Structure 1
């Protein structure tokens, strides 16, 4: 049996105020006077204090990201071309992604495409990236997706929603500063945090489970309980660590039914990843009974009302597309049912689950 040799983030800084060390990190990469850095920052920070704290120099490029929609391969391609035009044949010494999961994924994707020819859509899949990325740094300003820890960058392409899954995707450096997640709107804080909680439920109940994934998943779950059921005073720090550990848990195992279904919801109906996961998870009592029960307690405690009957007005073509996207998530269904998953994951099963949402 061959074991996976998986890559983790080699360098990380954690703690309140640690964002201010970004300048030190980038100084190490800047060797020549014309070396430049690209900052890809969620535009929500454009009029916030964080803008003034960016350690950008005169020769650097700051791009404010529009993450209204889930990141598309076409958007990533356009950003890559913008960076290439700015560099006039020279690549940046570092790409810094700052924001939520979408911004971090965009940062990873642009860093990869600067060294790998062709558009992002041609790399949607597993281990299709050939060349190491430009040095890239991830700084979450909302916690839950685990994008800071993962080897994927999830993108919506012309015919599917699927990550660029590769060891080269992993950040070279992350900075986890709990100060940065203060003031996130309540619904967004909840939905993104639930992405982390759901990662753990899927990993811990999957066929891919192993002691590595279990160690991270159990600790991350415990932290999620403290944040979402106990209102712990250090909840920002705890959620940031839960997010990182949830990302580590699935790095050596896999997500499951909820994520497979949520990819379909997102592709056809445009739901953001966090809320899409919540809508899907709420229909999965048969798959994760204990996890769903606890999830509903969290919903009640934080007065979150999920959309209901979201699939009732879909056309047959839209429903068929959702089923196609979801059933294409082979490793996820393998983690749910094992190698014979195709016998279980029928269009009828997927349709019935979507109609429960």
Structure 2
């Protein structure tokens, strides 16, 4: 069995302030007919801004505004795909996601489900997608998740939180316009940025580490330190964090994440905790696994006056703990990367419950 992954990369990317304005010329050659629209999935926070007016609508193109207040769900993907099928006589020319990680994941998943039978939950796992997705574009408006570059789309399903990991998931085109990240609230900026930082720490500390992932992870970590520890101007910070997100996503493409992400999945599935803040809530208690990374995390948190919520798991029943732990422990590749192939010898339900209990 081959041990080396032959994975896809985003074939086209444009970077630079104002690059959103080139979207029309980017999409035009991809239009299959006047009856095959582009569907723009846009974070609803932009509904009353000037951004919708900058979207190059033609023919039957449609904007669908979507709230990103909650994690993306498999049933939401299925509903969006069905809505699009019912609205148009032809398969769309493509899907364009404009927003944060939630919108990126929805855009990737909908593009897959428009060409594959069944429901999105059927494809949660590794390499289960049978047919190539339709053309899809990612335009992040906040940086850190790496969703714009990864081959996964993480969804909450009826039984688990898990990505659709496939070669068909990766975007065909990404537009990196740092101007779109202006005005992001400080806490959201921090939590999403820490997703990138924790990507780096977990990748660089993992048993799956190799020269490919290390080269990207080290650059992403360097950029995170500049953004969150140095006093740089806002425009430079946006540029650097957008590239940190890109490099961080590339780092884990050929390795994996680790303890914080596995346990954050449990928090999200059981309690609806958003991914970025969930990572932070877990990571602050992981000195045993990432001592230097956790120390630096607290330094960044204090510099930006971030106070993490407390008492999240207070009063949970044994059954609720069991569900969180089961979701976390089901993510075997993450634990193998963090601890090694014999991870079950040291990672026990009791150990995870003790960590969750601190939150």
Taking structure 2 as the reference length, the TM-score comes to 0.98
Match of 2:341 among 309, 322, 339: 339
* Structure 2: tracts of 5 or more residues without a match: none
Deviation string 1:96-150 (CA, Å, 9 cap, x unpaired) is 0000000000000000000111100110111101111000000000000000010
User: CA–CA distance in 2 between the matches of 1:53 and 1:124?
Assistant: 34
Match of 1:144, SS?
A: coil
Superposition deviation, residue 2 in structure 1: 3.1
- 1:78 aligns with 79
User: CA–CA distance in 1 between the matches of 2:316 and 2:25?
Assistant: 51
- 1:37 aligns with 38
- 1:321 aligns with 323
Superposition deviation, residue 35 in structure 1: 2.5
Counterpart check, 1:118 vs 2:118: yes
Contact kept in structure 1, 2:151 and 2:253, CA below 8 Å: yes
Superposition deviation, residue 51 in structure 1: 1.2
* Structure 1: tracts of 5 or more residues without a match: none
Match of 2:132, SS?
A: coil
Q: Deviating runs (4+, > 3 A) in structure 1?
A: none
Deviation string 1:65-91 (CA, Å, 9 cap, x unpaired) is 122110011111100000111123x21
- 1:196 aligns with 196
User: CA–CA distance in 2 between the matches of 1:33 and 1:352?
Assistant: 58
Superposition deviation, residue 32 in structure 1: 2.4
**Which residues in structure 2 correspond to 1:158-307 (within 5 Å)?**
158-233=158-233, 234-307=236-309
Superposition deviation, residue 33 in structure 1: 2.4
Deviation string 1:284-335 (CA, Å, 9 cap, x unpaired) is 0111000000000010000000012321211111111000000001000010
Superposition deviation, residue 235 in structure 1: 0.6
- 1:24 aligns with 25
Deviation string 1:23-79 (CA, Å, 9 cap, x unpaired) is 011101114222210100010110111111111124112110122110011111100
Number of residue equivalences: 356
User: CA–CA distance in 2 between the matches of 1:251 and 1:327?
Assistant: 21
Match of 1:49, SS?
A: coil
Superposition deviation, residue 339 in structure 1: 1.1
RMSD (CA atoms): 0.9
- 2:96 aligns with 96
Match of 1:158, SS?
A: coil
Contact kept in structure 1, 2:42 and 2:66, CA below 8 Å: yes
**Which residues in structure 2 correspond to 1:345-356 (within 5 Å)?**
345-356=347-358
Match of 2:307, SS?
A: coil
Contact kept in structure 1, 2:200 and 2:218, CA below 8 Å: yes
Superposition deviation, residue 3 in structure 1: 1.0
Match of 2:148, SS?
A: coil
- 1:48 aligns with 49
